[in-house]
Amino acid sequence: MIRLNRYIAESGYCSRRKADELIKDGRVRVNSGVVRELGLKVDPEKDIVEVEGKQIKPFKRVVYIRLYKPRGYLTALGKDKFGKKTLTDLFREINLREKVFPAGRLDFDSEGLLILTNDGNFAHRLTHPRFKVDKVYHLKVDRVIDQETLEKMREGIELEDGFFKLDSIRIMKVEKDFTWVEAVIHSGKKRILRRFFKAFNHTVLRLVRVKIGDISVKGLRPGEYSYIPQSQIDRLLKKEGEDEKRDSFK
């Protein structure tokens, strides 16, 4: 017997977090009956599970893809009601036919590394704050960031939805009218980096995610993708597992 959200994730339909939302919304049926209990367990050999009217089964072949998401695309599948381009449009343009979903997201105006997969458990480990997977961003912000402001940034700041602190920040390059910085976080709410810099009176002009764990966007141009070897996925999971174990002893 396994938890229902895990069963849905292992089918490749979506991540465990998204599965929980579908269950709460009453869009999941088990043996023809609507279920809303998040902790419900099912028997993969006997129970029939339907999500949004479609019967699903655990997926056998897992796929991991790194994609350079260009600016101007929503990190969403399907059509956008306001006519904005989504990943579905991008998949058509680059002829990606794998049935995958994004493990995490990037804002419409942001670009860089997205990891696509049909492995819901891996997506859960990649995105849940508990596992503390580093996400590295390169940001171009307006004006020069002085040393005093940089130190205050390292201390963190109270935003409208709570206190937020970067894991690390360093200045990469300073020019007359802007500064390139590298920021590392392992979790964050919607548009958190843009809101963070805005709180220090700096506007983010460009935001590029360059790395998730040890998986890099290096070698890809906007709109390009490549498959991630299983060996690299295993190394990432092993490293994050060791980090989690160390943290539990602190």
Q: Please give, one letter per residue, the 3-state secondary structure of the chain.
A: CEEHHHHHHHCCCCCHHHHHHHHHCCCEEECCEECCCCCCEECCCCCCEEECCEEECCCCCCCEEEEEECCCCECCCCCCCCCCCEHHHHHHHHCCCCCCEECCCCCCCCEEEEEEECCHHHHHHHHCHHHCCCEEEEEEEECCCCHHHHHHHHHCEEECCEEECCCEEEEEEECCCEEEEEEEECCCCCCHHHHHHHHCCCCEEEEEEEEECCEECCCCCCCCEEECCHHHHHHHHHHHHHHHHHHHCC
In the set 20, 107, 146, 167, the catalytic residue is 107
Cβ(210)–Cβ(218) below 8 Å: yes
> What letter represents residue 5's amino acid?
N
Concerning whether 80 is annotated as a catalytic residue, the answer is no
Distance (Å, whole) CA 201 – CA 31 = 55
Instruction: Tokens 């920021």: give the residue.
Output: 183
Tell which residue, 206, 159, 157, has the closest CA to residue 179.
Answer: 206
Cβ(211)–Cβ(136) below 8 Å: yes
Q: Which residues are catalytic?
A: 107
